[in-house]
Amino acid sequence: MNIVLIILKWLFHILVFPGFLFTLCAALLLAGIDRKLVARMQNRVGPPLLQPAYDLLKLFGKEIIIPRQANKKAFLSAPAVGLASLLVTSLLLPFSASFVAVSGVADVIVVLYLLTIPAVAIIVGAASSASPFAGVGLSREMVAVMAYELPLTIVLVTVCRKAGLMMDESGMTFSLATVMQYQAEHGAMITKLSMIPAALAMLFIIPCEVGAHPFDIAEAETEICEGTLAEYSGLPLAFYELAHYVKMFILTSLFCVLFLGGFTTGVVVVDLILRLIFCVVVTFLCITVPHAVCARFKVEQVFKFYWTWVLGLALVSLLLVWLGL
């Protein structure tokens, strides 16, 4: 009886909240808001809020073309793997200090690694499609991963150290739940002076990790014909689009966990709404505004930007935290 309940609870977590269904709805909503906001900033009416959902549904109904030279199995399974790993990540993100579906001693490292899997899935899918455009695209995608991964690591370490100094006797924590706990007790991370550069760095990292507009070097539709996705059509393409939206939600959500964690009430529903509002704000700041304002960067510009300015911001924060500020 007990075991059945546990399994049911797990299935609920995986399939409904905060796993599959919730993440999906939130991600589609977020993507719709993003597109609408971009349109409004350009003084357009913009697509309806449900446009991402329409796009996905339409793609479900399209024919699937598998190029003759492609490795069929890798071509079809890569999108599913990428999406699956994102959904697992969604289980690891706490909603408040008390509510987290799956908690671990060191889930920060797991999140970091799970977030690289979608990029790897895109790359393997692109590689298996045997298109030269996809080849160029995957090379660029990997450069982008190399570019943002270093500052992202430092930001995560900084947050872990900041929370660990107070909450853990070893001076370092790797648990997102502890980070939330810290913020619940001592106020959100963003209110700490030493964490502001790290938060800024994270705001720069999110669009690149998502592959949003100024950093979408891998999918540059005008130069390399959608790059990594050049050969995809129909359902697998829908999976990639979905993974793109979900990634947007997961990363903004991660930002909320890391820097805006203190503002919780303890009531799950209120926390949820708060989280969604924060996600929209973060999305607006780091995805919508650059999208509306910037033109696409060149590949080496992206790399240089992340390994100088963003890295510098993250390092400043780490140093300040290490000095105990």
Among 116, 281, 285, 289, binds other proteins (CB under 8 A): 116
Task: Select 282 or 287, whichever has its Cβ closest to other proteins.
Answer: 287
Closest distance to other proteins from the beta carbon of 209 (Å): 12
Closest distance to other proteins from the beta carbon of 304 (Å): 5
Task: Select 189 or 217, whichever has its Cβ closest to other proteins.
Answer: 217
Alpha helices (runs of H) in the chain, residue ranges in sequence order:
2-15, 20-41, 51-60, 72-92, 107-128, 132-167, 176-186, 196-210, 221-224, 234-259, 268-283, 289-293, 299-305, 311-322
Task: Select 228 or 278, whichever has its Cβ closest to other proteins.
Answer: 228
Number of other residues whose CB lies within 10 A of the CB of residue 297: 19
Q: Measuring CA to CA, which residue among 143, 138, 140 is closest to residue 127?
A: 138
Among 245, 249, 278, 303, binds other proteins (CB under 8 A): 303
Is residue 154 a contact residue for other proteins (CB under 8 A)? yes
Among 96, 128, 183, 252, binds other proteins (CB under 8 A): 128
Q: Cα 156 to chain center, whole Å? A: 14
Tell me which residues in 25-44 interact with other proteins (CB under 8 A): 35, 39, 42-44
Is residue 46 a contact residue for other proteins (CB under 8 A)? yes
Among 166, 294, 319, 325, binds other proteins (CB under 8 A): 319
Closest distance to other proteins from the beta carbon of 100 (Å): 11
CB of 275 within 8 A of CB of 257? no
Supply 93's token pair.
Answer: 């993100």
Task: Select 61 or 295, whichever has its Cβ closest to other proteins.
Answer: 61
Burial of 6 (0-12, 13-18, 19+ CB in 10 A): exposed
Tell me which residues in 72-91 interact with other proteins (CB under 8 A): 74, 76-77, 79-81, 83-85, 87-88, 91
Burial of 1 (0-12, 13-18, 19+ CB in 10 A): exposed
Is residue 62 a contact residue for other proteins (CB under 8 A)? yes
Strand, helix or coil at 99?
Answer: coil
Strand, helix or coil at 177?
Answer: helix
**Cα dihedral 84, 144, 74, 219 sign:** positive
Q: How far, in Å, CA of 300 to CA of 313, rounded?
A: 19
Is residue 45 a contact residue for other proteins (CB under 8 A)? yes
Tell me which residues in 186-245 interact with other proteins (CB under 8 A): 217, 219-222, 224-226, 229-237, 239
Binding range to other proteins, per CB under 8 A, among 133-141, 200-208, 261-269, 274-282:
133-141
Is residue 1 a contact residue for other proteins (CB under 8 A)? no
CB of 116 within 8 A of CB of 145? yes
Tell me which residues in 158-187 interact with other proteins (CB under 8 A): 160-161, 164, 170-172, 174
